[in-house]
Structure 1
Amino acid sequence: MHKQLETVRLLLQTKLSAREIASAVGLSKTTVGRYRALLIFKRLTWDDVRGWSPAQIDTNLNKARRGNKVRDPLNVAALHDELAATGLTLQVWHEDYLRAMRPGTAYSYSSIHRKLHAYRKTLPTFMHMEHRPGEKVLVDFSGLQASYLDVTTRKRVPVTVFVGVLGGSSYTFVDAIASQSVPEVMAAHARMFAFFGGVPHVVVPDNAKSFMTKPGPGGTPQRDYEDLARHYGLTIAATRVYHPKDKAKVEAGVKFVQQHVLRRLNTLTLYSLEEVRERIEALLPQINARPMGNREPSRTDRFNSFERRTLRPLPALPYEYAEVRTGVKVDGGYHILVEHHRYSVPHALTGQRVDVRLTADCVEVFHEQRLVAKHARSGVIGGLTTTPAHQLPAHRAQTDRNPEALKAWAATQGPTIKRFVHGLFEQDRPYMGLRPADQVKTFVSRYGAAAVERALKDFPSLELANATALKRKLSIQAKEGATPRQPARSKNALGPGSFTPAKRHSDEHPDPFE
């Protein structure tokens, strides 16, 4: 007989106590007492209940089950993978899980912990990776992001967190970058090596698109990533796809950063990317100084004791990201168009194709892998940057034909030439002095600066001099063998530097007064 039915029979047909009946049927004394009270309240006899099934007894004598709700099944394998990917602790995950579940349908923390522990025991064993000091740096992004408040839009702006971990000592670098774009990631690498004060031999990246165009150990790194590797003398050794244990060091480093850096940052209100980066820089010495598990020395102690000295020296200059554009055509005016601005190249390259390397402040032009031009980068849209040496001689002469250029040239030829040329442009219409200044430049190239200086000194005043008279004097000096002018013999001579009429050649026009 069912023990609940037997309990009812003993209650209705005997005078045994609740304790004695409980002992006889194996129920609790409390349950037996509750059955007795219900039988009396409902005025039931043995004849009434003799034919009841266990379900009827349960319905009439037992409390209804609370809600009778069915829990959703828990995918323990998926939970294990999620915790591994995000770096969350089970406690944090369970808090979010409770908020998402309906009341009464969630598993308790202890229940999930037991299930997860049992599942992990079924996983295959793994091999501990050996990392020699100074050999590798492992880099990755945190799944959890930092953020700051934009004061203009009053919205939270997410910030990508870059993590680098040295393989030997687990010494950790953390940086905040605006996104996972290639320029941002390359700049983070440069700051990381500066933080370490040296460079290892190998960089082990994740298979993110910022690092690899084709994932896996035999994949293809980004061209800019290869450029960075060449600058620092690094070898790129990407991990296998879907094998997080290949980079267990940085996975642990990311989790460590999430727990000890991001949790602190997320309690603060920061207002710019620079402020986020400054706060991380302040926290780095603290987190690296924390003792590691199993009472091992801290990351800083391990780095200083054996890994710092194994790193190779930094190059003279940090890496600067550069965008490379290939096959840019040189136009008919021997310039190339880059970001709506034109830059000159040697005129012999007109119509040919060149490669352009762009940095934040420099434009470098290569032809057949040889540097042929270098300019400071300009932000002037529609502007023109020209190096005179790139121009054709005629074009260069035309470029130099302006008042400032001619005055600068005259200052290098002699004091009298300088005063004369400067005087040509001291008028209401300065450009009227361009042609006579050009003529002076021609005279200097034909007769020499010393001859032009002597000829100009023959004028009583430079205000009375002009290009035609100067040409006549220079011609006479040249025919006389450019001998120095002799002092005047007349007692009325004006002396050195005075003006005398130009003397005609005696064979052509004899002077009757001689």
Structure 2
Amino acid sequence: MANTLDPMDLKQIITLHLDGYSNRKIGITLGISRNTVNSYMKLFKACDYSYEELLRFDDPALKELFPSHSTIDNQRYDELMVYFEGVNKARNHPGFTFLHHYQEYAQRAREPYSYTQFMEHYRRKYSKIKGSMKLEHEAGKEMFIDFTGKKLHVVNKETGELVPMEVFVAILPNSQYTYVEACESQKREDLISCCANALRFYGGVPQAIVSDNLKSAVTRASKYEPEINRSFKDFARHYNCVINPTRSYAPQDKALVENAVHLVYQRIYYPMREMTFFSLEELNREIKRLLVNYNTLLFQRKEASRRELFQSVEREYLKPLPSQPYEMKDYKRAKVQKMGYVYFSPDKSYYSVPYRYIGKRTLIHYTRTTVEVYYNHQRIALHKRNPAKGTYITNKEHLSSTHKGYTDWSPEFFENKAAPHGAHVLSCVKKILAATEYPEIGYKRAMGLIQLHKAYGSKRLDSACKRALAADTSSYKRIKNILENNMDKNSLFHQDLEENQTHIPVHQNIRGASAYQ
């Protein structure tokens, strides 16, 4: 089944075209069919935008403009290549014929090639004469990268344990100017960090980064259309270059970096063989010192050093570095919960999204400082990353009107709500809020009290609150009972309270408290 080209691939096609690549070379560099590149270039020319404007488009807009498909079917081709391994082993068997094996293949395959294509693919895979060619490397075109097979070590001060360290090597093939750095692993984060440091060391960006089929660089290896790791592809987009993995089991594709690894063993590993390092920083400091000598050493036949060739020839062909360094980006999938939040598993926390996306499946792009939520390649939320565990990070613009009102609740909010209905209503609300230790309980009672004005009016509510305060109470139930029984309308009661008169009649036989002193 045909695969839709990623918007990043579309931008890489445009970038290479602006760099002067032909359609054929673009197809070879990106592992895409030349016909596919031709089709896209026709679409680019026919549209109303220039190449520079298309590069500034975001991914959803670019995908909507150019929904074309590539025509490569890797599964069908790989199935044929696996079958050829058995065919080639049987070549010297008496009675061997290609037709017999083709008939067997046609019965087994789900979508068999024709006999003509069957033979053509076989001849390409097992040509009789295999040779090698000398590759001419253009200045500023590529940067080869690799990890050494042998590792260096750092000593743990507390345990004395030898901790192995990977060694990253990068080389510009035209000048053979080399960069070396030790890191903790070959994982994606370390690979991207080392590549960024290498580009900063060179002071510019080549047109392509050539890697082997590391798991941290290539998600799915393929001779024609390898699938680049999303983070590594995003790194290349940031630096305005492309990733071009070599063929599997074809070290000749990056022979220079393979040779550079052997030279690193001689010029860097060997001088450090008796040294002991207690941190990665110490190790890289010594590598950097030895690397200066390595790059300034004269070639035997060129009468110039790697550094001199780089500065005099290759440096001017590199693209400028971006203004901001790349920040490592990673990805997680998450479904929007009923509350309107996505669960961010690395920090075990929650981030809000617009409530209309409840129930949708999203992709979270995150760095050390930001968290972005995307739905169908469109960003729907952007938050600063909060490393605290179990927190809810909320943007009030994402909430529905009902939820927004709830988040605004505070003592000041309810006091402002109560004030228009009378001074006694305001006093009751203040007493309710002051009497509860848990704020949310007081908020609910205060809201219930204020809502009574809808059934009885603000004037009666204020009178009922006045009577309740006189009786030293302010509960919602008591005030509601006063209103239901029309007790707020008893004017004598209020007059008695106001005049502070007792309900006991005056009589000469009744003595007061003074008679019992």
TM range (shorter): 0.5 to 0.7
Distance 2:435 2:291 in 1: 67
Compared CA separation, residues 394 and 267, structure 1 to 2 (3 A) = same
Give the letter aligned to residue 383 of structure 1.
Answer: T
Structure 2: how far apart are the matches of 1:279 and 1:383? 44
Q: Is the 8 A contact 1:141 1:160 kept in 2?
A: yes
TM-aligned CA distance change 1:292 to 1:424, over 3 Å: farther
Alpha-carbon contact 2:433-2:446 (below 8 Å) kept: no
Query: How far, CA to CA, are the matches of 1:425 and 1:129 in structure 2?
Result: 84
Q: 2:148 aligns with which of 136, 142, 145?
A: 142
3-state SS of the aligned residue for 1:195? helix
CA contact (8 A) 1:362 1:377 kept: yes
Question: In structure 2, how many angstroms separate the alpha carbons of the residues matched to 1:331 and 1:434?
Answer: 26
1-side partners of 2:153 and 2:435: how far apart?
62
CA contact (8 A) 2:182 2:283 kept: yes
| TM-aligned CA deviation for residue 260 of structure 1 | 1.5
* Mapped pair 1:388 → 2:388: no
Q: How does 1:258-337 map to 2 (within 5 A)?
A: 258-294=265-301, 296-326=303-333, 328-337=334-343
What's the counterpart of residue 102 of structure 1?
A: none
CA pair 354-435 structure 1, distance change in 2 beyond 3 A: closer
Separation of aligned partners in 2, 1:317 and 1:437: 52
Which stretch of structure 1 is more off in the superposition, 178-187 or 234-243?
234-243
Amino acid at match of 1:356: I
The alignment of Structure 1 onto Structure 2 pairs a total of residues equal to 313
What is the CA distance between 1:261 and its match in structure 2? 1.7
Give the Cα–Cα distance (whole angstroms) in 1 for the partners of residues 431 and 205 of structure 2. Answer: 62
Distance 1:331 1:163, change over 3 A: same
Counting only pairs closer than 5 Å after superposition, residues 41-190 of structure 1 correspond to structure 2 as 126-190=132-196
Aligned twin of 1:238: 245
Q: Is the 8 A contact 1:424 1:433 kept in 2?
A: no
Report Cα offsets for 1:462-512 as digits up to 9, x if no partner: xxxxxxxxxxxxxxxxxxxxxxxxxxxxxxxxxxxxxxxxxxxxxxxxxxx
Give the 3 Å change call, closer, same or farther, for CA 219–357 of structure 1 in structure 2.
same
The alpha carbon displacement at 1:296 in A equals: 2.6
For the Cα contact (< 8 Å) 2:372–2:382, is it kept in 1? yes
Deviations 1:422-459 (A, max 9, x none): x99997979599699999x99xxxxxxxxxxxxxxxxx
Residue among 199, 216, 221 paired with 1:214: 221
Q: What are the Cα deviations for residues 80-135 of structure 1, in whole angstroms up to 9, with x where unaligned?
A: xxxxxxxxxxxxxxxxxxxxxxxxxxxxxxxxxxxxxxxxxxxx985322111101
Query: 2:374 matched to 1:366?
Result: yes
Letter matched to residue 200 of structure 2: A
Question: Any conservation in 1 of the 2:329–2:366 contact (CA below 8 Å)?
Answer: yes
Matched, 1:402 2:410: yes
What SS does the aligned partner of 2:301 have?
helix
Question: CA 1:428 to 1:144, structure 2 compared with 1: closer, same or farther past 3 Å?
Answer: same
Change (3 A) 1:428 1:288: farther
Structure 2 counterparts to residues 434-513 of structure 1, below 5 A: none
Change (3 A) 1:350 1:435: closer
**Counterpart residue identity of residue 233, structure 2:** E
Q: 1:434 to 1:143 in 2, by over 3 A?
A: same
Q: Cα–Cα, structure 1 residues 427 and 329, in superposed 2: closer, same or farther, change >3 Å? A: closer
Superimposed CA distance per residue, residues 340-386 of structure 1 (whole angstroms, 9 cap, x where no aligned partner): 21111111111111111122222110112111111222333322111
Matches of 1:218 and 1:391, distance apart in 2: 43
Shift of 1:188: 1.2
**Partner amino acid for 2:198?**
M
- The verdict on how the C-alpha distance between 1:301 and 1:406 changes in structure 2, with shifts beyond 3 A counting, is farther
| TM norm structure 2 | 0.54
State the partner residue of 1:351.
359
Mean alpha-carbon deviation: is it higher for 202-211 or for 168-177?
202-211
How far apart, CA to CA, are the structure 2 residues paired with 1:272 and 1:202? 33
In structure 2, the CA distance between the partners of 1:350 and 1:226, relative to structure 1 (3 Å rule), is same
The one-character-per-residue Cα deviations of 1:123-175 (angstroms, maximum 9, x if unpaired) are x9853221111011111111111110112332111111111101211111112
How far has the Cα of 1:243 moved from its partner? 3.0
User: In structure 2, do the counterparts of structure 1 residues 264 and 438 end up closer, same or farther at CA, with 3 Å as the change threshold?
Assistant: farther
Structure 1 position 312, deviation (Å): 0.5
Find the residue that maps to 2:262 and give its secondary structure. helix
Is this contact kept in 1: 2:171–2:178, CA < 8 A?
Answer: yes
Query: Residues 205 and 211 of structure 1 are in contact (CA less than 8 Å); yes or no, is this contact kept in structure 2?
Result: yes
Give per-residue Cα distances to partners, 1:371-414, cap 9 Å, x unaligned.
111122233332211111111222222222235x869x99xxxx
Q: Residues 255 and 406 of structure 1: is their aligned pair in 2 closer, same or farther, counting only changes over 3 Å?
A: farther
Distance in 2 of aligned mates of 1:296 and 1:208:
36
Change (3 A) 1:358 1:215: same
Q: Which residue of 1 aligns with 2:384?
A: 376
Deviation of 1:242 after TM superposition, in Å, equals 3.2
Of 237-246 and 428-437, more deviation after overlay is shown by 428-437
1:217–1:237 CA contact under 8 A, matched in 2: no
Asked if the contact 2:433–2:443 (Cα under 8 Å) also holds between the matched residues in 1, the reply is no
Q: Aligned Cα RMSD in Å? A: 3.8
Structure 2 Cα separation of the partners of residues 305 and 433 of structure 1: 77
Out of 301-310 and 182-191, give the one that drifted further.
Answer: 182-191
Using the size of structure 1 for normalisation, the TM-score is 0.54
Query: 1:424–1:437: 8 Å Cα contact kept in structure 2?
Result: no
C-alpha distance 220-128 of structure 1, shift in aligned 2 (>3 A): same
Q: Matched residues in 1 for 2:442 and 2:337: separation? A: 34
Deviations 1:60-89 (A, max 9, x none): xxxxxxxxxxxxxxxxxxxxxxxxxxxxxx
**3-state DSSP class of the match of 1:357?**
strand
Letter in 1 for 2:178: T
Q: Which amino acid aligns with 1:144?
A: K
Q: Is 2:432–2:445's contact at 8 Å kept on the other side of the alignment? A: no
Equivalent residues of 1:140, 1:164 under 8 A apart: yes
* Per-residue Cα deviation, 1:322-349 (whole angstroms, up to 9, x for no partner): 22224x2101000011112111111111
435 and 127 in structure 1: CA distance in 2 versus 1, 3 angstrom threshold: closer
Q: Residue 283 of structure 1 aligns to a residue in which SS? A: helix
Q: Quote how far apart the aligned CAs of 1:208 are.
A: 2.4
More RCO (CA 8 Å, sep 6+): 2
Q: Highest CA radius of gyration, 1 or 2?
A: 1
Larger CA deviation: 424-433 vs 266-275: 424-433
Compared CA separation, residues 389 and 218, structure 1 to 2 (3 A)? closer
**Cα-to-partner distance string for 1:242-278 (whole Å, 9 max, x where unaligned):** 3322212111211122212222344221122233233
- The aligned residue for residue 263 of structure 2 is 256
Give the corresponding residue for 1:227. 234
Q: Measure the CA separation in 2 of the matches of 1:127 and 1:298.
A: 25
Provide the identity percentage.
32
